[in-house]
Structure 1
């Protein structure tokens, strides 16, 4: 009998010895000060599955163990056991029991202004051409560099919020640039004075932002909560929160929001419901008719104010990853299943924003990355070209009849495609393939690949951007020990190489504010 009890006790001890540690007290002791009680972030980023979707759990475990260079994130390998480190990594990838909320009160409370509006000079504190600057986002250590586009020398470098998401957006005069981080922080930076002048947290998981063509508004697209958030560009104060819910009561994440400046409106791509929303920022916009009242007295349309009321275009498939015609009358979107699953549906659609309906199907295969498409004139007709995330193909589409002119074989699946009005070439990467170190040049007149560059063999080459005059092309070596490689856009010779920490994107002020056909909008 004693032996039986002893054996049972040993089994109990063995079970205790191998039981996974409780991560909650570990998080409270070591993480809460920087990442918040509800894992919503603070000095450090939010630690929720939605916010960590681009960080593999093994990579997160490495950060918890060893820390992150050039940040306040320390490593815990000397304080915690291996099983405790693993428990924390598992914990942050586990959804909380209660979905966290982030509404008007939280947004307003988060806002602060380190600089009083109007207190800074209206002239640049540097001598470089302010319209030929590049804003370089360095994801390797979460910094931003302001680069002189004539001398190719850094003017200023400053820390950014964790994991900036989506391209920065500029005011029409190019003085201010706005950034959005994945965990919802919106930052306004004064390029003339090289200072962050305002910040506010508009969401928990944010996709991107858009700045209105008149420079008055910033619209924020959120995954969590499922909202569009409207801010005043002058000081980032909250104007309103717009829940993204359709007539049937179904909510949706927002894939992205875009400024359609010629239309004086924002256009939102919805992730979970087959609708496209357009919200006018024109105070004189025509009323939006929301539906009909039916009772024994009347049956008339309900007119809502034209400004900020969504004009809804209903679709037969969810559209993601938009490309706009230069006049913003048409939007091209990659089709996704209407059930909201991540499995891609073949092809895409063309939607006329004036009549609010689909006017054509696009017979595209794979996973076209329309948001990285560019346009130009080919044989006297406007065309757009899109890379593909799953196939080594660039598809060239006639924007008059919406037919594919040519599918051009490339080195591999690509993420970015860029050009400029003053160059005959479109530059396309192959960063989603084994040939990730290549940059291929497509002749826009012949629709043939005419040159392959390898900026640094074995390392990812991506995201080309041009100087304002198109004379030079800047390519990113997309690595932590990366660089910007500057090419003469005519001779294709390397001119300069600047070390950078994973420069995921660089954005020329002039090309962005003039909506160059060669870059994304």
Structure 2
């Protein structure tokens, strides 16, 4: 899942931030800082950088709805060591503390290579892990689902054949909804908003290693050869390369554009056929490619400017960033199946196609509103390769011909949606309307006719979102994104409910087989 789009799409919920109601003055700020030192520092660390508890920086808290910070201060957080301060602090103190937590620290926080190295924890050596999956009889390790439960910061592992929960463990604070997998499907890698990267072994259901690569991390990507994990940070503005086996840090790049300006990372993705990582910048009109192919050409003519390596162990030149200068700042993008092109969109409503080998724009796209390209799917229809994307600002799914880069259809849906999913073995694509008043309604599109053929409300009045298919495409798993919420299993053909599992705000679930095989019906 694209975390940057979820934050943008929920902006209407955050139009009046919690701290806006209580302005922070030097006097109130000093009082709040004293309250923090007295009541919060022991768990949340000096400078609000995190410790036993998560970081309490604006970047870490930006996805919370109005009132959630204040409510947590008052009521505490169930199943954690966060206590309730109602009765210990009065309303004025609670409001001032909540407002102060939404302001940046006086001194910009830093996170160095030393901090990173000190944070790393090795729970178990890979050499001591079992050679094969230690799962109940009849469980297919490639038909497992990894479910991120945001309500209480846990992860569940669900058997996609029998729809039972095999494991549930506590995660770091505010995981990015889209974990990434090793090429064989054995290891799953998580990134948290708090800067932590975690490696978990699905075969033995054990955490392998964790490291804090920054103070605010956007997401991670895993190389197709299984050797590397690349983490993109927004605080500090860095890219961190980790060994995929144990998460030892190998290289850090400061993310500076061709003008020398620092930029936050918007997203990192693996481009498997290219044997490279693709990086989008949040504050600069550039697209970076970092090859991990030892045979890669050292430069792409006209695309490269020099970067000095950051902190860490010197690595071969093929891991140096190569940069494409763009005419817009990317907000989201989508690869074609061959990974030769990216379909890119900006926040200003522009969209275009960029050829990665040359860095040249080859087409403009007829996309308006805020298309969620990162949740797009591809499929064939009458010999055409089509791409379909939901839209965060309009109740529609846009379909593009990927051979001619032309608009094929605009399919009306129940409302603006975030997720679009399908499967090679299914004639249908499922889209939610979670960004609208009809958040409880799913639209089902026939991929042959490009028509909306059915709407479903599995749990009326609740957020019905993020469908994912089983390995064979026979069933879909639907998130009821509430706390408490559910994981509802439906027959993908009849749409009948099969079973439901209780969950705590399941914001994302991912099937191992579909992810490692880059199913055309799910995000990559």
TM-score normalised by L of structure 2: 0.91
Shift of 1:29: 1.2
Q: Deviations over 1:247-282 (max 9, x none)?
A: 211111110000001000000011111110000011
Q: Secondary structure at the match of 1:22?
A: helix
Q: Runs (4+) of structure 1 moved beyond 4 Å?
A: 289-292
1-structure distance, mates of 2:299, 2:215: 30
Q: Secondary structure at the match of 2:77?
A: coil
What does 1:155-234 correspond to in 2, within 5 Å? 155-234=166-245
What does 1:476-487 correspond to in 2, within 5 Å? 476-487=479-490
Shift of 1:354: 1.2
2:148–2:177: 8 Å Cα contact kept in structure 1? Answer: no
Q: 1:117 corresponds to which residue?
A: 126
What does 1:39-438 correspond to in 2, within 5 Å? 39-127=48-136, 128-288=139-299, 290=304, 306-335=317-346, 344-438=347-441
1:66–1:77: 8 Å Cα contact kept in structure 2? Answer: yes
1-structure distance, mates of 2:65, 2:395: 25
2-structure distance, mates of 1:153, 1:457: 24
1-structure distance, mates of 2:392, 2:130: 45
Cα 1:291–1:252 shift into 2, 3 Å: closer
Shift of 1:103: 2.1
Q: 2:9 corresponds to which residue?
A: none
Q: 2:35 corresponds to which residue?
A: 26
Shift of 1:285: 1.7
Which runs of no fewer than 5 residues in structure 2 stay unpaired?
1-26, 307-314
1:430–1:437: 8 Å Cα contact kept in structure 2? Answer: yes
Q: 1:36 corresponds to which residue?
A: 45
1:286–1:306: 8 Å Cα contact kept in structure 2? Answer: no
Shift of 1:57: 4.5
Mapped pair 1:454 → 2:454: no
1:331–1:352: 8 Å Cα contact kept in structure 2? Answer: yes
Q: Deviations over 1:317-374 (max 9, x none)?
A: 1112121111111111112xxxxxxxx3123111111111211111211111000000
Shift of 1:291: 5.4
Q: Deviations over 1:422-454 (max 9, x none)?
A: 000000000000110001100000000001110
1:284–1:306: 8 Å Cα contact kept in structure 2? Answer: no
TM-score normalised by L of structure 1: 0.91
Q: Deviations over 1:145-197 (max 9, x none)?
A: 10010100001111011100140000011110000000100000011111111
Which runs of no fewer than 5 residues in structure 1 stay unpaired?
1-18, 293-303, 336-343
2:220–2:269: 8 Å Cα contact kept in structure 1? Answer: yes
Shift of 1:401: 0.9
Q: Secondary structure at the match of 1:431?
A: coil
2-structure distance, mates of 1:479, 1:515: 29
Shift of 1:234: 0.6
Shift of 1:116: 2.1
Task: Pick 1 or 2: higher relative contact order, CA cutoff 8 A, min separation 6.
Answer: 2
1:280–1:306: 8 Å Cα contact kept in structure 2? Answer: no
Q: Secondary structure at the match of 1:511?
A: helix
Q: Deviations over 1:69-97 (max 9, x none)?
A: 12221111121111111111011101011
Q: Secondary structure at the match of 1:450?
A: strand
1:397–1:406: 8 Å Cα contact kept in structure 2? Answer: yes
1:286–1:305: 8 Å Cα contact kept in structure 2? Answer: no
1-structure distance, mates of 2:262, 2:197: 23
1-structure distance, mates of 2:495, 2:110: 51
1-structure distance, mates of 2:464, 2:352: 30
Root-mean-square deviation over aligned CA pairs: 1.3
Query: Does 411-420 or 64-73 show the bigger shift?
Result: 64-73
2-structure distance, mates of 1:139, 1:106: 27
Shift of 1:306: 4.3
1:414–1:430: 8 Å Cα contact kept in structure 2? Answer: yes
Shift of 1:311: 1.4
Shift of 1:284: 2.2
* Structure with larger Rg: 1
Q: 1:439 corresponds to which residue?
A: 442
Shift of 1:56: 3.1
1:57–1:89: 8 Å Cα contact kept in structure 2? Answer: no
Q: Secondary structure at the match of 2:114?
A: helix
Q: Deviations over 1:187-236 (max 9, x none)?
A: 00011111111000011111100000000000001111111110000110
Q: Secondary structure at the match of 2:98?
A: helix
